[in-house]
Amino acid sequence: MAENRKARHDYSIEDAFEAGIALTGTEVKSLRAGKANLRDSYGEVRNGELFLVNAHISPYEQGNRYNHDPRRPRKLLMHRLEINRLFAKVQQQGMTLVPLKLYFKSGRAKVELALAKGKKTYDRREDIAARDAEREIRRAVREREKGDY
């Protein structure tokens, strides 16, 4: 339904978790229509509960007065032990909870949440340089194979 492609560019992903997400009826219908955006969203622990903050799920067109607020914080469903473990890592190691993708599994909405560390500018440049070098190598191999015939 929705994928946060920018997350893999801006963060180095340490570990990924799956969490359920508590939604209203119009949010589910909007998600099934593919009207979600995870850019600039993050996970946050408040009072021992996990929330998805700043995720945008567009209002459902036929939702009339029962529609939802597009950017409301949504409760994520995980076991208490997992939430406490994530909270400890975020507090101690300066990591962030970043949603990677939003999808349906067996009819239920799920979010893939990653424990991530922000990349510095030079890290991003190194990744881009490595990707370009890999692309050049593949291109050279392809050209060489083409000339063998």
pLDDT in tens, 48-80: 899 999 988 888 888 777 788 888 899 999 999
Q: Alpha helix (H) ranges present in the chain?
A: 5-10, 25-32, 80-93, 121-147
For domain 2-118, the CATH superfamily is: Small protein B (2.40.280.10)
Q: What is the pLDDT of residues 14-50, one digit of tens each?
A: 888 899 999 888 888 888 888 888 888 888 888 889 9
Terminal Cα-to-Cα distance of the chain (whole angstroms): 45
CA–CA dist 42, 144 (Å, integer): 46
Neighbours of 121 (CB within 10 A): 7
For 61, phi and psi rounded to 5 degrees? Answer: -60, -40
Q: Quick check: pTM over 0.75? A: no
Specify whether the CB–CB gap between 4 and 41 falls below 8 A.
Answer: yes
